[in-house]
Amino acid sequence: MTLPAFWRQPSFSVAETADLVGVSEVTLRTWLTRAPPGDFLGTKTANRIFFSCREVFYYLLVAHLSDYGVPIRTALYAAAQHANESLPVDQWLIVRTARDVTEFELAEDIPATVAPALILPLRSLATGLIERAAVVYATEGS
């Protein structure tokens, strides 16, 4: 799949990003104050922050991880490892939490001994996000 220009280009406002991720704008702004890695802070233009689709994908992963119960700082840093410049190659991110330890494993196939765990289809999440973001991007340009 060829990545669209908005994958790398800052194109989405905070409100649009929150909508694409499925969280409130307040939640997204709270995550921004939690010091995510520098690659995911967005681009400030005329006192407004704009995000690329890659950064939106990062926050989508953060949302899924935090919904599962991963502490927010752990989710911020774990998501950074999987929101690369290109689409994810591995199909599945398997997240297991035992007591206070969270383990992350990339897999091409879901292992038979996966329960209980969060299983995120990385490539499917990214392509679905690109499709939804394309609609927002096209509407914004009109």
The pLDDT score that the predictor gives to residue 113 is 73
Q: For residue 95, give both structure tokens.
A: 């997240």
Beta carbons of 108 and 91 less than 8 angstroms apart: yes
Q: Partners of 44 in the beta sheet?
A: 49
Among residues 102, 123, 4, the alpha carbon closest in space to that of 60 is found at 123
What's the pTM value of the predicted model, to 2 decimals? 0.91
Strand, helix or coil for residue 84? coil
pLDDT band at 115 (very low <50, low <70, confident <90, very high): low
The pLDDT score that the predictor gives to residue 114 is 64
Q: Partners of 51 in the beta sheet?
A: 12
